[in-house]
Amino acid sequence: MTVYLVGAGPGDPGLLTRRGAQLLSRADVVVHDRLVPTELLALAPSGALVVDVGKRPGEPRRQEDINALLVEHGRAGRTVVRLKGGDPFVFGRGGEEALSLAAAGVPFEVVPGVTAAFAAAAYAGVPVTHRGLASSVTVVTGRVGENEAGEVDWESLARAGGTLVVLMGMAERAEIARRLMSAGRAADTPVVVVEKGTTAGQRVARCLLEDLHKVELDSPATIVIGEVAGLDLHWFDPGPLHGRTVVVTRAANRAGRLVEQLRVAGAEVVALPVVETADPEDGGRALAAALSRAAEFDWMVFTSAVAVDRALSAIGDPGALDGVRLAVVGPATARALEERQLCAEVVAEPATAAGLVSSMPPPSAAAERVLYPRALEVRPELADGLRAKGFAVEEVVAYRTVPSAGVLDAQLLGRAATADVVTFTSPSTVHAYLQAAGGALPPVVACIGPVTAEAAGRAGVHVDVVAEEHSAEGLVRALVCALRA
């Protein structure tokens, strides 16, 4: 039994350490802060207990309760990852949690993370130390209350010089500036304020110390005060979707690539998994039985990466497919095969069921046999088209796509309602989203392909964007083109 105090980094999911990712992949319990990226939570096993202990404005959460929760799960012999924004020991109260665990006799390990104190400045093009400008850097919390234990001595900091990085200081920025200037810091000292540093929502404001009170950015923000703030070593490209908020409705276990591509393009992502993947109603017995006869088939066709994963997990040894030709509906499904060291002989062009039918070579012998592991909800177009072409098609349900079992977070639904774009990747996501959101939609609706767009249209939804390439990359490209126009 071990509790791991893991730094999640400043906001960019790519800044999580390898050790942190390894621990998440085998966690029994994940206890996380409010601002931890959803992509990091997706690294946990599907059966892990995920607990949000984030402290929200107006909803105080006692640190003692969090400490007790960690002790409880640790004593139960579970592998617990306490995922904390930034670094656990840099204004993360990780020390308090470690003391509680030590007092309870629960083993723990600290996994440092990248702190926003330095990362946010770097993403804004500001080095916190620089030859000739600053040879020291001080990180402080934006506390200005009188007679409080741990009160920041702003007057001493003003005289110390160097770079001053203030975390959690936006609410008191005017008083911080006043006290620094009254103690001798020059009014024209350069300042950089970075809101949501390292993320797609990053915004940067530059000013002088005397004008800090005029900066209108939101928390969380990092304030950098000193001569280095006059540097602007710009390198961070926010991407063509910067400033746009995009809702991803795909199942959590399938959303990773789309979320990643959207973030690379600069979008702020609201991950709202309105559906999830479930076993067939028979628990997969029919799938296992069909795959035990894999050698009897000439072809196996796949229309999704989930079908590939389900089928090949059931078959166990990919060698059982020796001699079976493989066909897929698009590049994402082809990649799923490649990840298992298998190669598709046919990749549909275009990437639709009709495209796969037309891309398949005519059967060379009477009644070539095709095994089609599919979702429960698919339309009959592919199977009927292959039969019309002369193939003998055996269909077997590999999985079901069902509405998410849990109650969707009200805050996520609120963020989705005020987003710029909602993306749909299957008819099931359309129907589940409309049910969860009460029919409210963002201004732009984007669909991964014509089948999904048709389902949206039948549900009374006006579709603004339909991807030509039916993949995560194709959907993001289509969005960029549409929103730039």
Within 13 Å, how many C-alpha atoms sit on residue 94's CB side? Answer: 27
Residues 12, 28, 52, 55: which is the catalytic one?
Answer: 55
Does the annotation count 55 as an active-site position? yes
b/e 282-315 (16+ beta carbons within 10 angstroms → b): eebebbeebbeebeebbbbbbbbbbbbbbbbebb
Residues 12, 28, 33, 317: which is the catalytic one?
Answer: 33
Cα–Cα separations (whole angstroms), residue 483 to 416, 464, 467, 480: 18, 10, 13, 5
Q: Hey, what amino acid is at 168?
A: M
Does the annotation count 317 as an active-site position? no
Residue where the block lists tokens 């591509």: 261
Q: What angle do CA 309, 310, 311 make, to 5 degrees?
A: 95
Q: Which of 234, 241, 274 minimizes the C-alpha distance to 260? A: 241
Q: Is 57 exposed, middle or buried (0-12, 13-18, 19+ CB in 10 A)?
A: exposed
Helices and strands, number each (H, E), in the chain: 17, 21
Residue where the block lists tokens 């008819």: 427
Round to whole Å and give the CA distance between 225 and 160: 12
Asked if residue 203 lies in contact with residue 217, where contact means CB atoms within 8 angstroms, the answer is yes
Which residues are part of the catalytic machinery? Answer: 33, 55
